[in-house]
Amino acid sequence: MDLPTPRGPLSEALVAALRTDREFLGVLPLTTGHDTEDGALALWVLHQLHYRDLAGVPDDLEWDPQLIRIRTVLEHALESRLRARFSAPSGRTFTDDLLTWVDEQDGHSLATYVHRDATREQVLELVRVRSLYHLMESDPTAWVVPRLGVRAKAALMELQYDEYGAGDPNRLHHHLWARGMAACDLDPSYGVYADNAPFEVLEQNNAMTLFGLHRRLRGAALGHLAAFEATSSLPSRRMAQGLQRLGLPAELVDYYTEHVAADAVHEQLAVRTIVGGLLADEPGLEEQAWFGAFTCLDLEDRVARRMLTDWGVLERERVA
């Protein structure tokens, strides 16, 4: 993928050094006092080194000690921002109460807006920014597999097997998404629309990669997965109906229709067998599982608010 357009001095220096002299000593001091959006973009680029080719950047920089140092500083800042927003629900057990707790949260919903009101151009913009995640759907969670005990590992693979098409490349979820994009005449190559992604979307993607990459955060990764799956089935149906209302291509509708049935299964598995299996072996990770679940819903609410604000929807609702 091509490197995105920098958003401040830190991402500017990082992108320039990746492109030219590969001398990163001067980048590290810029990680203090940087603007959060600038830092989020820099971290997103550093995370991409672990997933794919960056045009003009040698592969071995993935494990460059100076880049890892910069990544660590930015990840600590991200984790502190996420932690500062979180408080664990009291008197609740993750495996018994997660689904009820999720139902009680009432964050802003892009699916509800797409269902009835969004314009075609707004939906296409949403597809562009969602592509940062959907084109690598489930990949951050795949990193968690070797860090788990027997039960949780088998359970996570049972879910991931379905996410990755159960052996059929045509059913692989991020490929279904790529086909949906292509049918809308959008470019499904990874990272093409990174410049369209607002800060909240970068933060959301960085949080998933942070949880996936660090063994220490495996509880948060699986808690995040459970909340993600638990907020997918009904919203996916609304998305599918909204896309049909606007006459958008069947391939994109298919992606959402697939998620209605798939995630009705996945939410149950994620809570009962995956997080259930994890906590049976490592009960001390319960608080972390809640942290992951909270972060998932909190970031989705912030992404929705940002998009609805940019479209003037929240402003109109306040006036009405």
Q: Is 250 in the site for other proteins (CB under 8 A)?
A: no
Q: Is 243 in the site for other proteins (CB under 8 A)?
A: no
**How many whole angstroms separate alpha carbon 286 and alpha carbon 238?**
32
Given a contact cutoff of 8 angstroms between Cβ atoms, the answer to whether 150 and 218 are in contact is: no
Q: Is 25 in the site for other proteins (CB under 8 A)?
A: no
Please give the size of the binding site for other proteins, defined by CB under 8 A: 22
Would you list the DSSP string of 59-91?
GGGGG-HHHHHHHHHHHHHHHHHHHHH--PPTT
Q: Indicate if the alpha-carbon torsion angle 254, 255, 256, 258 is positive or negative.
A: positive
Q: Is 260 in the site for other proteins (CB under 8 A)?
A: yes
102-131 positions binding other proteins, by CB under 8 A: 103
Among 70, 98, 269, 299, binds other proteins (CB under 8 A): 269
Residue nearer to other proteins on the CB measure, 147 or 237: 237
Q: Which stretch binds other proteins (CB under 8 A): 21-29, 190-198, 262-270, 307-315?
A: 262-270
Among 79, 137, 162, 300, binds other proteins (CB under 8 A): 162
Instruction: Provide the residue count of the chain.
Output: 320
Site mask for other proteins (CB under 8 A), range 137-156, x = bound? -------------xx--x--
Residue nearer to other proteins on the CB measure, 57 or 269: 269
Q: Which stretch binds other proteins (CB under 8 A): 16-24, 119-127, 218-226, 259-267?
A: 259-267
List Cβ neighbours of 267 (8 Å cut-off, separation of 6 or more).
99, 226, 229, 230, 232, 233
Q: Exposed/middle/buried for 109, CB within 10 Å: 0-12, 13-18, 19+?
A: middle
Q: Indicate if the alpha-carbon torsion angle 89, 92, 98, 102 is positive or negative.
A: negative
Q: Is 237 in the site for other proteins (CB under 8 A)?
A: yes
Q: Exposed/middle/buried for 119, CB within 10 Å: 0-12, 13-18, 19+?
A: exposed
Q: Which residues bind other proteins (CB under 8 A)?
A: 99, 103, 150-151, 154, 158, 161-162, 166, 233-234, 237, 260-265, 267-269, 272
